[in-house]
Amino acid sequence: MPRKLAILAAAIAIIAAAVFWFITTPATIAASALPAHTPDLTNGKTMFYAGGCAACHTVPNQEDKTRLGGGLALKSPFGTFYAPNISPHPSDGIGNWNEANFVSAMWKGTSPAGSHYYPVFPYPSYQRMKLDDIRDLFAYLKTLPAVAGKVRDHDLPLPFKLRRLVGMWKLLFLDGRPFAPEPSRSAQWNRGAYLVNGPSHCAECHSPRNRLGGIVERQRFAGGPDPEGGDGGVPNITPAGIGSYSERDVERVLESGDLPDGDSVGGAMTAVVANTSKLPAEDRAAIADYVKSLPAVEGPKKP
């Protein structure tokens, strides 16, 4: 009898492992699934600045924001992440990637080697991006200087070191849905909604996260503690936080970093503004239109 039980237990364990392996398999997009496309480099550049790629991927402490050699350390409750080299360098960067590799990374959070990226790379937002925007961005990245130097591995303790577990995380927090426009709203509002929730990934910092590191959806945009562990916080960008701002005030923050009270933005937002300041003015206006339309939501109580 105990022998039969042992066999049963072993069988269950094997099945469970197989199921785990199956459901945590990284998803990819096949090259054959991509229709013909002629890249629009101007749009690619807009996506580059809307996405704020440079904010994390430029080599730290240098003026040239187009050298995407990576290396910036990002602290988190799960360990320290190091932004990789996404310059077109063939071996150290993404020079050898094809379009399908890039689309898989942006939409599915999967690397060309077929492993999971950690969601510190904000693909839960990038999955909303239009295919053409991603392909234009890829074409634009290819025009930037190749930077040599591989970035060190992330510094994560167990169990977070196990990338396969990210597959479970994705089941919980990656829905695979593209951006859905709101037909009753204006074209400007929809453009803003797309930028904010897609490429610009505002919610990734401006929302509280649960213990698994997923965004608390009902408090989306309501700010929260500093994800890097500092004793400051991230501001609430719903009317509960910036209700006194006009749309013009929001535009100005994104344009010059100037706040309505004469102060200027600081912390990580400084690097964000370095990107949004280079967007077309209409896009900043669209973001402001959308942000000012958000419902007021109270953020987590400060300790």
Partner 1 sequence: MIRPVLAVVVLALGATALLAQSDPIATRRALMKGNGDQNKIATEMIEGKRPFSLDDAKKIFATFEEAGEKAPALFPDNSKTGGDTAALPTVWESKADFDARLAKFAKDSKAAADATKDADSFKAVMAEIRKNCGGCHQTYRKKAS
Pick from 40, 258, 278, 293: which binds partner 1 (CB under 8 A)?
Answer: 258
CB of 161 to partner 1, least distance (A): 28
Closest by CA position to 74, among listed 204, 216, 167: 204
Of the pair 103, 269, the CB lying nearest partner 1 is at 269
**Residue 74 or residue 165: which is nearer to partner 1 going by CB?**
74
Should residue 273 be labelled a site residue for partner 1 when binding is judged by CB under 8 A?
yes
As a whole number of angstroms, the distance between CA 287 and CA 252 comes to: 11
User: Closest distance between partner 1 and the C-beta of residue 289, in Å?
Assistant: 18
Site for partner 1 in 228-247 (CB under 8 A): 230-236
Among 38, 187, 263, 303, contact with partner 1 (rule: CB under 8 A): 263
Among 226, 240, 247, 278, binds partner 1 (CB under 8 A): 226
DSSP for 207-267 reads S-B-TTS-B-GGGTTS-EE-TT--SSEE---SHHHHTT--HHHHHHHHHH-B-TTS-B--T
Give 146's contacts (C-beta < 8 A, 6+ positions apart).
87, 88, 89, 90, 93, 95
Beta carbon of residue 262, minimum distance to partner 1 (angstroms, whole number): 3
Task: Give the interface with partner 1 as residue ranges (CB under 8 A).
Answer: 223, 226, 230-236, 248, 252, 256-258, 260-268, 270-271, 273-274, 302
